[in-house]
């Protein structure tokens, strides 16, 4: 069996050999707030990875993966980030939908949906949040009913990442009329390219649009495209969230470290490192990042605690970046003709405001930690 270090060396060697030529220009592109960058080219890169067996490395071999251990997956994500390889376009399919189907889907669903995810031929988006049910996911109002051998879906989702690029969406919908909260929800796989689905991009503070509103108006999907039992979608949805906060966050932390190192270099070059308060905050940021890594490597680390830690750390880094930039950080220069053109530090500051909101707000995560882990009394609800 390949050791972790041998596996790491194999990943590093492959990236060094293939992230060249036209693909070399993709280094550092994409990611939160920057998903618009070279999307088609990054898609081609990821399909190149798939052709060489470097997508879905943690999936079991029988489903097209490499059966990589947790330690090997960590090595893969770290080496990918260290190589400054472009942000992945297939994260939702590979890291969320795929593991969910492996754990909770039928064999027929695995045969239908896993191969095109592994080959990066079908992209996915996540239909969870709604205008009245964001972090409080149990408040979902999108509804679906079985009619003529198909699920018919009506409702609205919002903050749906990359819905404008996706061919499929896994949708949490209420399928039992009169049900409340966690009961009566189902996890449906819905095609996006149909008359009953409308996608409206949401313009963000950064001026880009990677989030979307999605409207379902009698959208249809086959009756077999339900993961788990009808009405049992809450457990499946929670499993997906667990996968969302899995080992790939170690690669995310490599990106965080690169941002911190770049910010320290900026502080040295523009003289703000002479400010003892700036130095103190940079040191505290380094300590916080080490804490994130140690927490993520703990066996059975709690995903809600991890989300709280990294979201607040990254938001604080964005604020620190503006203080290091000083007055110059207040001006969008428009150097290439765009009157609202942001530099990397401005984009970090603006986009990281959302880190404590999406994927479960800080307030909701604290309730989860308090009630489910610490056993404190539940919050009073109307």
Could you list the active site residues? 244
DSSP 120: T
CA distance 230 to 319: 45
| 361 contacts 134 by C-beta, under 8 angstroms | yes
CA distance 58 to 74: 10
Q: Tokens 């205008």 — which residue?
A: 131
- Neighbouring CB atoms inside 10 A of 137's CB total 20
DSSP for 70-122? Answer: HHHHHHHHHHHHHTTPPPPS-HIIIIIIHHHHHHHS-HHHHHHHHHHHHTT-S
Residues whose CB falls within 8 Å of the CB of residue 17, separated by 6 or more in sequence, listed in order: none
CA distance 317 to 292: 14
Q: Are strands 168-174 and 185-191 parallel, antiparallel or unpaired?
A: antiparallel
- For 310, counting Cβ atoms within 10 Å of its Cβ (0-12 exposed, 13-18 middle, 19+ buried), the class is buried
What values do phi and psi take at 44, rounded to 5?
A: -65, -40
């Amino acid at each position: 069996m390949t050791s972790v270090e041998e596996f790491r060396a194999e990943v590093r060697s492959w990236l060094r050999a293939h992230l060249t030529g036209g693909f070399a220009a993709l280094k550092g592109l994409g990611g939160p707030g920057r998903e618009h960058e070279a999307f088609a080219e990054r898609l081609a890169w990821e399909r190149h990875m798939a052709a060489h067996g470097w997508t879905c490395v943690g999936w079991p071999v029988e489903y097209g993966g490499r059966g990589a251990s947790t330690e090997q997956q960590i090595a893969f994500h770290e080496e990918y980030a260290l190589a400054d390889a472009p942000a992945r376009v297939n994260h939702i399919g590979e890291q969320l939908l795929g593991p969910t189907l492996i754990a909770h889907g039928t064999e027929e669903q695995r045969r239908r949906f896993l191969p095109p995810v592994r080959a990066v031929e079908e992209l996915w988006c996540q239909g969870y949040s709604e205008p009245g049910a964001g972090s409080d996911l149990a408040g979902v109002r999108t509804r679906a009913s079985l009619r003529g051998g198909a699920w018919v879906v009506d409702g609205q989702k919002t903050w749906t990442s990359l819905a404008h690029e996706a061919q499929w969406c896994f949708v949490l919908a209420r399928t039992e009329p009169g049900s409340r909260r966690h009961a009566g929800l189902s996890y449906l796989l819905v095609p996006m390219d149909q008359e009953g689905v409308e996608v409206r991009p949401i313009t963000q503070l950064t001026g880009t649009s990677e989030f979307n509103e999605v409207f379902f108006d009698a959208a249809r999907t086959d009756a077999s495209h339900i993961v788990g039992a009808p009405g049992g979608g809450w457990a499946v949805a929670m499993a997906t969230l667990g996968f969302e906060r899995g080992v790939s966050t170690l690669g995310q932390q490599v990106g965080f470290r690169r941002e911190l190192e770049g910010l320290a270099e900026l502080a040295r070059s523009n003289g703000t490192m002479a400010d003892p308060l700036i130095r103190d905050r940079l040191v505290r940021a380094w300590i916080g990042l080490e804490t994130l890594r140690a927490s993520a490597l703990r066996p059975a680390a709690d995903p809600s605690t991890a989300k709280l830690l990294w979201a607040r750390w990254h938001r604080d880094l964005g604020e620190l970046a503006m203080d290091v930039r000083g007055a110059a950080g207040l001006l969008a220069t428009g150097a290439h003709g765009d009157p609202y053109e942001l530099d990397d530090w401005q984009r970090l500051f603006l986009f990281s405001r959302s880190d404590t909101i999406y994927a479960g707000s800080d307030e909701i995560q604290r309730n989860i930690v308090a009630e489910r882990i610490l056993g404190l009394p539940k919050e009073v609800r109307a």
